């Protein structure tokens, strides 16, 4: 497999798909709402009604389709599937290859703000010597890396597929990698399995095991995290259990109903971002709807659940007793799902060289705080060029 096997990809959603979406948005059957909900028991009804009205009457898909198509995209046969990825060359001959991995419920669209900053830093307040050539694949089973009936991929298999893409297809002997959410797990697994190729990794989420008993004599800082973990396991993991145990059942409703899909994803945007009461103003309705649209038009929501099932029915991606040994950097945002202290992080990453704490931001770092994320990446990866 070589680069001349790459097939250029351009996104164009047929008008018939958009017309069908509009018909569905015009005929929503709304549920009632639990008294006093206000996001406590799930997505707020009045908020969702306003968002759906905007989606139907004001949102312009073709404008956002153009944004996605402004990046060079390809498909190539990897691990038995047609893997989709963005490949944007850096502006200098010495641009470092950088693998960006997204997570759930995200997509490569998450990176549309940071891609120009990474490939052309001089045009965005940086130094041209910090330029990267960015490779951003859609995870297998996600959006453009999905076809009906396609084999499902675990996190371990995704990491192997990305290694194949980087080394055997694109020909990079070494590269650096960054990820959040499942992308952080994939990036960590790449560093664990392929240290000869992965020079360093940068994360905005740490793939530490979610075991409240992982520490016997917890420090005060560790106790704060363990309390956070217990609360997360009690109140915030319902989506993981259904996606990780009966993914097929859930897929019917979310594949058939755009409003059901929006409710499922918007709740995560609300819970996991640092919006401080103004989700639309902070995160943006168009941003949320474009991400939702990518799942809708590809019909890939059901297949996107599979990493949860594989994770819940298999071992932790970093084997018990082992650590990721490649140089690691972590940038911590206050509204991240979980925020383990460094002492716990070092149980899983044995060479943490950079640890940055930010005062604003959340789970979707590339969308929420792109400048902070990019500057931290530039700083860390500079010594591995």
Write a three-state SS string for 72-138. CEEEEEECCEEEEEEEECCCCCCCEEEEEECCCCCCHHHHCCHHHHHHCHHHHCCCHHHCEEEEEEC
DSSP 222-288: HHHHHHHHHHHHHHS-HHHHHHHH-HHHHHHHHHH-HHHHHHHHHHHHHHHS--TT-HHHHT-HHHH
State the catalytic residue, choosing from 181, 274, 291, 376.
Answer: 181
Active site annotation includes 308? yes
Active site annotation includes 363? yes
- Of 113, 24, 54, the closest CA to residue 279 belongs to 54
Distance CA 200, CA 328 (A): 6
- The tokens for 5 are 């096997």
State the catalytic residue, choosing from 59, 142, 239, 308.
Answer: 308
Q: 73-78 and 81-88: which strand pairing?
A: antiparallel
Active site annotation includes 181? yes
* 54-91 CB burial, b ≥16 within 10 A, e <16: ebeeebebeebbeebeebebbbbebbebbbbbbbbebb
Residue 88 pairs in a beta bridge with: 134
Q: At what angle do helices 258-272 and 15-26 cross, to 10 degrees?
A: 80
State the catalytic residue, choosing from 64, 130, 363, 376.
Answer: 363
Residues known to be catalytic: 181, 308, 363
């Amino acid at each position: 497999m070589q680069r001349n096997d790459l097939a250029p990809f351009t996104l164009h959603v047929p008008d018939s798909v958009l017309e069908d979406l509009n018909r569905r948005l015009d005929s929503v059957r709304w549920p009632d709402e639990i008294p006093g909900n206000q996001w406590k028991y799930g997505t707020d009804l009045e908020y969702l009604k306003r968002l759906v009205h905007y989606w139907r009457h004001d949102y312009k898909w073709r404008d956002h389709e153009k944004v996605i198509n402004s990046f060079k995209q390809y498909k190539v046969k990897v691990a038995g599937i047609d893997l989709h990825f963005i490949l944007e060359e850096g502006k200098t001959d010495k641009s470092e290859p950088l693998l960006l991995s997204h997570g759930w419920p995200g997509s490569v669209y998450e990176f549309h703000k940071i891609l120009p900053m990474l490939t052309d830093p001089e045009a965005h307040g940086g130094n041209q010597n910090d330029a990267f050539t960015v490779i951003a694949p859609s995870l297998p089973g996600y959006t453009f890396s999905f076809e009906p009936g396609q084999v499902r991929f675990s996190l371990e298999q995704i990491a192997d597929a990305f290694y194949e893409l980087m080394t055997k297809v694109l020909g990079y002997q070494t590269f650096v990698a960054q990820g959040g959410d499942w992308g952080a797990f994939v990036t960590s697994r790449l560093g664990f399995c392929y240290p000869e190729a992965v020079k360093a990794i940068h994360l905005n989420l740490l793939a530490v095991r979610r075991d409240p008993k992982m520490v016997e004599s917890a420090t005060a800082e560790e106790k704060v995290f363990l309390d956070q973990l217990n609360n997360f396991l009690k109140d915030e993991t319902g989506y993981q259990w259904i996606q990780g145990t009966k993914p097929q059942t859930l897929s019917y409703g979310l594949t058939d109903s755009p409003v059901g899909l929006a409710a499922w994803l918007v709740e995560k945007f609300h819970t996991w971002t640092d919006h401080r009461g103004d989700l639309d103003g902070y995160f943006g309705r168009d941003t949320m709807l474009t991400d939702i649209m990518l799942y809708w038009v590809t019909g890939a929501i059901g297949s996107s659940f599979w990493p949860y099932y594989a994770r819940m029915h298999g071992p932790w991606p970093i084997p018990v007793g082992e650590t990721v040994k490649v140089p690691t950097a972590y940038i911590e945002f206050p509204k991240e799902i979980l925020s383990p202290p460094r002492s716990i992080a070092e149980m899983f990453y044995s060479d943490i060289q950079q640890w940055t704490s930010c005062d604003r931001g959340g789970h979707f770092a590339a969308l929420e705080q792109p400048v902070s994320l990019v500057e931290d990446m530039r700083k860390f990866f500079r010594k591995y060029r």
